[in-house]
Amino acid sequence: MTANQIWRLLAAIRERQPLVHNITNFVVMNNSANALLALGASPAMVHSSDEVEDFVALSQALVINIGTLYSEQIAASKLAAIRAKVASVPWVFDPVGAGATPYRQATAVALARLGPRVIRGNGSEILALAQQARAGQGRGVDSLHGSEAALDAARKLAKDSGAAIAITGEVDYVTDGSRVVEIHNGHPLMTRVTGLGCSATAVIGAFLAVEPDALAATAAALATFGLAGEIAAEKARGPGSLQVELLDALYALDEATLTARVRVTG
């Protein structure tokens, strides 16, 4: 994937302003919505089982995130995922904390079987979802495994699920089971702000709305988000100001900066 391809996809988002429907966790709702707006997409946070099916049909992409898991969200997520398949709306799954408890693991496995185009998680979440780690081995949303350690599991999960799998960490990896793309953009300060991984998942939804190749859309999204984090860290005084600078960086990112600074291989 080239920098020029990534820029063309970002330009397409800004031109088309795709509607991205999010069923996400309470901690990150505001951050994810603002990240999508800054990028150029249109966010919606619609969670009720009474309307998710209708709203999915109006959207260009769906994002499901199980960070703050509860029964109503599970029901709504399953309805939305099934409707997305019928309506040919691509969707992204973020299995937050997969493997931490049997309940969360079972939910993650059930949703992964409903046809997501992309699954994004940290190393431990991907290992758990590929069922190479037992329930209870995770530590909430924190990863106990590096991204590279989960690459073989990601390849297997991609083949089993039909989804492109993104493992985020110091280096991000995206695979469809055969191809592998590495993304080296990002900054350590980003780990000090809660929910930036969830915001990255939402951004993947925006790119998936304009690019049918799930691996290409995911790699472009993670490179763009990681680069914005790098630019933000250059100006930030700490985690608080990083959040503000990150939104500004997403909004202001131009072709010259992106093509000069994205670091993607594969």
Q: Structural domains in the chain?
A: 3-265 (3.40.1190.20)
* Cα gap 168→40, rounded to integer Å: 23
**Is the pTM higher than 0.85?**
yes
**What number of other Cβ atoms are within 10 A of residue 233's Cβ?**
18
Check if the beta carbon of residue 23 is closer than 8 Å to that of residue 52: yes
DSSP state at residue 190: G
What is residue 227's predicted lDDT score, i.e. its pLDDT? 98
* Cα gap 122→107, rounded to integer Å: 17
Q: Which two tokens stand for residue 76?
A: 């709504």
**What number of other Cβ atoms are within 10 A of residue 133's Cβ?**
22
Instruction: Note down pLDDT in tens along the chain; length 266 residues.
Output: 899 999 999 999 999 999 999 999 999 999 999 999 999 999 999 999 999 999 999 999 999 999 999 999 999 999 999 999 999 999 999 999 999 999 999 999 999 999 999 999 999 999 999 985 444 444 444 444 456 788 999 999 999 999 999 999 999 999 999 999 999 999 999 999 999 999 999 999 999 999 999 999 999 999 999 999 999 999 999 999 999 999 999 999 999 999 999 999 98
**What number of other Cβ atoms are within 10 A of residue 86's Cβ?**
10
